[in-house]
Structure 1
């Protein structure tokens, strides 16, 4: 199974696990990735018989050629000298921003690993007696690992949860994420207001519910995604559900049906049980987009009961009344862009510059009016007009000018049709 015999040191995924998971979760995940053609490294347990200096060299060689590391933490992980040595190398690359690390706490308590208590206390203490010069560095590494958002798994059948998360990364649906660009233009003031509602510094105990509302295409999801990307490291776990309608009820104790995958690796539907296993009463950041009826909010109410102290749950909707009926006290309205921001956003999309060329100024002003100052429609319309001449612009704008609502729908179709054909937009982003 191991990829260590390969002459190449390049792997997309580096799997780190103790011997007991080498024949279980890690090997199952390895096979699933292999069948999807994703180069993955998994060390054979028998390699631990080699000199430690040779093992460290191998680990560094394979880790530095990888993009992503999955650390399967079982009860025996913190008692394996090799795993702990390997972990320090992984975290060093992670701290340098050269590797993304996903911890999986498999059939072991998150708090036990962090503080070396419970079932791992005595074995770790004995290990420390054997390696007194290394035990402190290992303690620090385990604490740092638990600071990284990860997953809690209790059953081997849940390997698909990990697989889907890795596939999302592989398809670049999550990493790397753009943190700057035209999507943020004009939203700085919105983000400042949203952060005040999130109140991360002064409200550490409560589970706070925040609502974001406004018309379609105004930038609600863009605002939430940038906040999500910026803040998720402050939480133990994080989840982004693109469509509230795709959340369905399922008891974790019952057999779990497979989630529906897109060709790009995203999940089209997700069970409440899956979210429960991800959140696990830990401090989490949850974003649920496209909330449009009270029935969906019933699922949200159940999810809230699983959130740990300090969690933040953001609901995104076009209907302010839904937030009022659900009792959301912290609500922010996203309004259309101001004129100068709208023109700049459109110009960047149409001409890849901050201001339109002189010959296109009047046409650009008309286009901004046609798009009703909405960021998404401005971006789509600008992209559709890029590299076209003035005559083509005039023809397109004349066709769109008229009924505002139908115009926006027509512009949006240019994007949605393309998305449906590619089927690459995930509706559930795992931590």
Structure 2
């Protein structure tokens, strides 16, 4: 009936409710959608025949609709012939109106225009329904079908080669929508950021109807993403007086551009703010139809961690302020001041003041029961070496938690030996203290798995449960985070990990890991080393062509 839950009391809560015509799609298309949702660990409700006895929709179904965040409606040939389906549709659209429930229609082998005009199988169904004595009920069905046909959704005959591709896109779209609906992070622990968050909000001038771009600029680990995330959640929340027609927070633009291409990231941002799940522009020039839609929309866009490789796409997104509707706001975080154009208002993020730096460090390093005067004094000395950088403070503090006083002094001695660049060396000390097993996992994440779902990573390992414990260990050390069920790592830590691998040898073929597509290609075509794919079974790659699009998650190890 539902993934991970069959209890239908009043407290039930589902991510997704599925409405569909059983005789059309239950054992076919709908079953594939169900499996795709289950793979992504999305909690869904799907009815069984036991709930469809009698003339009226059951309380269990009503409860499931009411307590779901999203409803997927699969319109098929005989959908309108079922009074149950039509009653579900009426209730779903009522929840959309009252509670803001997200509705995702899927037009499976039907034309939305047939729904609006009562043609084809939909017209035949309503000829039969006209015999029902309750005209008000029939009119509600008709109005709901018309309304649903105008909601942006998925059409199986447009842009999709087969059902498998359509199902995957639906699951990806639902997953992204649920991420957007997730409770915002708790920013109470963001020591020293409140004043900077308020400063960014003041620069945005939300009370004005102009289109405004604010660039958040600063070194790695200084807190740019945290500040942007806090501002995004605060000004886009329902409690805030401001209202945006569309919004999106594009994380890790640099990393995603490297993996998927800069145009893909640009198109994804436009897709999200317009609410289009499968929009593909594919060129730097934005066509007039998309342009007109954007100009009618008041949008909020955050582009996180933008670098030089995204400049052309950034120009097509924000080069012309009249591309968006009045009141639109765009926030860009970057380490490179040069990517922020003349239209941007630039804010440079400051390091934490000494007292705030010590406070953040102590939160990570000391328990409430272990705050002796001598350790507090040592904390002040150690914290100085982080230069007010929040990432370095968190990593340093986490590495000293529950350590002896002698270990604290040893750490302080190591820090005194550091020359510039200081932040990198501070972070490197925490890596050096890891066991060989944890170093290996850290480097794998830095080279291959940043942004990947935890389940996908653990699934390819010999001991998934053991790996989860190791990931939690690294998270406790502030070397990784697990957010929205995905592995995340600060780009400064990722760069450190990739630098460690590059320093193993000047020749890519002699390094322990290969993740850059050009390096992989060069080694496969020019290097005489044997190349192994690290999987549950180690197999040499002999005379194959490497396709980075088809095999994006292969872990390459080299053996000479």
TM over 0.5: yes
Q: Which runs of 5+ in 1 are unaligned?
A: 96-100, 250-258, 261-266
The answer on 1:322 being equivalent to 2:353 is: no
Larger radius of gyration: 2
- CA shift digits 1:182-239 (9 cap, x unpaired): 2x22111111111122233322xx4432210012111111101112222344434333
Does the CA-based 8 Å contact 1:346-1:382 persist in structure 2?
A: yes
| Pairs within 5 Å for 1:338-417 | 338-353=353-368, 356-403=371-418, 405-413=420-428, 414=430
Residue in 1 aligned with 2:233?
Answer: 229
Residue in 2 aligned with 1:211?
Answer: 215
Residue in 2 aligned with 1:299?
Answer: 313
2:269 to 272, 275, 285: 275
1:336 to 343, 347, 351: 351
Does the CA-based 8 Å contact 2:96-2:103 persist in structure 1?
A: no
The answer on 1:163 being equivalent to 2:171 is: yes
Q: In 2 relative to 1, CA 173–362 (structure 1 residues): closer, same or farther, beyond 3 Å?
A: farther
- CA shift digits 1:234-283 (9 cap, x unpaired): 4343333332234559xxxxxxxxx87xxxxxx99954433333333344
Residue in 2 aligned with 1:104?
Answer: 104
- How far 1:425 sits from its partner (Å)? 3.5
Does the CA-based 8 Å contact 2:96-2:102 persist in structure 1?
A: no
- CA shift digits 1:64-105 (9 cap, x unpaired): 7x775344487999993322214545787x68xxxxx54436
Does the CA-based 8 Å contact 1:75-1:120 persist in structure 2?
A: no
- How far 1:383 sits from its partner (Å)? 0.9
Q: In 2 relative to 1, CA 240–321 (structure 1 residues): closer, same or farther, beyond 3 Å?
A: same
Q: In 2 relative to 1, CA 283–341 (structure 1 residues): closer, same or farther, beyond 3 Å?
A: same
Q: Return the TM-score normalized by structure 1.
A: 0.68
Does the CA-based 8 Å contact 1:347-1:353 persist in structure 2?
A: no
Residue in 2 aligned with 1:181?
Answer: 188
2:59 to 57, 65, 69: 57
| Pairs within 5 Å for 1:34-183 | 34-35=38-39, 38=42, 40-43=44-47, 50-51=53-54, 53=56, 55-62=57-64, 68-72=69-73, 80-88=86-94, 101-104=101-104, 130-131=135-136, 155=159, 157=165, 159-164=167-172, 166-167=174-175, 175-182=182-189
1:241 to 250, 271, 284: 250
Q: Return the TM-score normalized by structure 2.
A: 0.54
Q: Which runs of 5+ in 2 are unaligned?
A: 119-125, 238-242, 275-293, 432-437, 454-482, 485-560
Higher relative contact order (CA 8 A, sep 6+): 1
